Amino acid sequence: MIFLKTDEEIELLRISNQIVAKTLAEVAKLIAPGVSTAQLDRVAEEFIRDQGAVPGFLGYGGFPKSICTSVNDQVVHGIPSEKVILKDGDIISVDCGAFINGFHGDSAYTFPVGEVKPEIMKLLKTTKESLFLGIEQAVEGKRMGDIGFAIQSHCETNGYSVVREMIGHGVGRNLHESPEVPNYGRKGNGTMLKTGMTIAIEPMINLGKRQLVFEKDGWTTRTIDRMPSAHFEHSVAVRKGKADILSTFEYIEQVLGTKAI
């Protein structure tokens, strides 16, 4: 069942998502060679709790940490660890959730670590562009396939592949709700978009092949060919005429300055 949100509920979702956005900015301040992903997780959890929220991911389905940290060829759901130390030239996707006032926020950003190869920076830039092209389609009267087509066509035109197994989702009182939001599709196909739908759009785009594998931890996914993968995510409310982005990258980009994607 798809739950349409009232304007009041959407504003509560915006609060949750703004906390996520600010948390990702706090994490952005720390990302550098020599930092462990466990350090990022500790800072994120403390900041979320300081805002009066709780980490939306911690304990979700048994997930053991407050954020997902996916490095290089890891696609999504990487588990923060003291053993994973960031190195110059890495990329890291940080996916974050916060729960407050009965609603979940959910957003992700892929960060460069130090000096990253130009071809990998182009992957990040294209993936982020595809997110906003998908968001442009999140308006009443369009269909879910319009979002997926916009993302898929932009990324495949640039020579990248779109992960199929992992997709976006509805977001609200539950972290994952209906409808599913694939990052591929055909124009005019799929669920009709209606005002009040709130969805997380999150392209996961690979430099090489689209196939992925699960690691032994049961959570972390990697590209099958060990090529890098990028991931950007916003939570969005469907509206007439123009989508309403509930999360923001503004705080992250203030921290990153010229390093912003």
pLDDT band at 255 (very low <50, low <70, confident <90, very high): very high
pLDDT score at 2: 92
Distance from C-alpha of 124 to C-alpha of 164, rounded to nearest angstrom: 18
pLDDT score at 238: 98
Q: CA separation (Å) from 10 to 7, 110, 172?
A: 5, 26, 9
| Model confidence, pTM | 0.97
Instruction: For residue range 58-86, list pLDDT tens digits in order.
Output: 999 999 999 999 999 999 999 999 999 99
Q: CA angle 259-85-107, nearest 5°?
A: 50
Instruction: For residue range 114-132, list pLDDT tens digits in order.
Output: 999 999 999 999 999 999 9
Label residue 3 exposed, middle or buried (CB < 10 Å: 0-12, 13-18, 19+).
Answer: middle
DSSP code for 2 = P
Label residue 100 exposed, middle or buried (CB < 10 Å: 0-12, 13-18, 19+).
Answer: middle
pLDDT score at 135: 98
The DSSP H or E segment spanning 1 is none
pLDDT score at 88: 98
Q: CA separation (Å) from 225 to 39, 74, 161, 220?
A: 28, 11, 12, 15
Residue-range domains of the chain with CATH: 7-259 (3.90.230.10)
Instruction: For residue range 130-148, list pLDDT tens digits in order.
Output: 999 999 999 999 999 999 9
The DSSP H or E segment spanning 124 is helix 118-136
Owner of token pair 């989702």: 169
Instruction: For residue range 159-177, list pLDDT tens digits in order.
Output: 999 999 999 999 999 999 9
pLDDT score at 199: 98
Provide mean pLDDT across the span 212-224.
96
